Amino acid sequence: MTPLIYMQDICRYYVVGDSIVKALDGVSMKVYKKEFVAIMGPSGSGKSTMMNLIGCLDTPTSGKILIDGDDTQGMDETRLAYIRNRRIGFVFQQFNLLGKISALENVITPMLYTGGISSSERRERAEHALERVGLKERMKHLPNELSGGQKQRVAIARALVTRPSIILADEPTGALDTKTSDQIMELFNELNEEGNTIAIVTHNEEIGNSCRRQIRIRDGKLEEPDVL
């Protein structure tokens, strides 16, 4: 079985002034279909960097990343955008909803970039996704009319609606209280049980341990290197 995510010797260096920051330093790992992975590690260890690389928002300094079998090396922005649109669903700590449009329109937005989906189908799928996260009644609301938990649900619906290969969530509960965090994690668990592949970044040991698999990272290196 081909892994969904395949990372081989990934390095991501930043040049800051005269020095080089090795945000990721030779990371290799695989994520298979239907997995639920927690990426954990102290602050500054390179978790977000790794997520951005998996999500094709960023390109590595060296190394190889395959998404669903496609080598992303040398892809231009247009092709990376295509991968992000079809294969990746992002959920962010700060929700990152578009503030001036309704929850429904937010969920419709990624489908606008897919092409070939009629507006009625876009709407239908968006409503369905919002229903799945339990926010159908709030779909006409603007983001600032929603609570943090509700915003994150909209963001999850937006990530789900394109039926991505993997949902990437960088500290999805970082801006939420414990109770709401638990509800969101519950939702992720359900989604995983329904067959979605999910990777989340978290600080929280409890949350991390509730996931089926943990990848621990420290100073840009995996604590237990994955065997490729």
Closest Cα partner for 34 from 198, 212, 213? 198
90 binds, among other proteins, ligand ATP, Mg ion, none (CB under 5 to 8 A by kind): other proteins
Interacting residue with other proteins among 50, 90, 199, 217 (CB under 8 A): 90
| Identity of the residue, 6 or 90, whose beta carbon is nearer to other proteins in the bound complex | 90
Q: With respect to ligand ATP, which residue has the nearer C-beta, 10 or 23? A: 23
The yes or no reply on residue 181 touching Mg ion (CB under 5 A) is no
Rule CB under 8 A: which of 141-160 touch other proteins?
158
Residues 11-50 that bind ligand ATP (CB under 6 A): 14, 16, 21, 23, 41, 43-49
Burial tier of 93 (Cβ tally within 10 Å: 0-12, 13-18, 19+): middle
> By C-beta, is 46 or 63 nearer to ligand ATP?
46
* 15: β partners: 20
Q: Report which of 172, 146, 168 is spatially closest to residue 159, judged by C-alpha positions.
A: 168
Rg (CA), the chain: 17
48 binding Mg ion? (CB under 5 A)? yes
- Residue whose beta carbon is closest to ligand ATP: 48
Q: How is 8-73 classified by DSSP, letter by letter?
A: EEEEEEEEETTEEEEEEEEEEEEE-TT-EEEEE-STTSSHHHHHHHHTTSS--SEEEEEETTEE-T
Does 120 contact other proteins by CB under 8 A?
A: no
Residues that bind ligand ATP (CB under 6 A): 14, 16, 21, 23, 41, 43-49
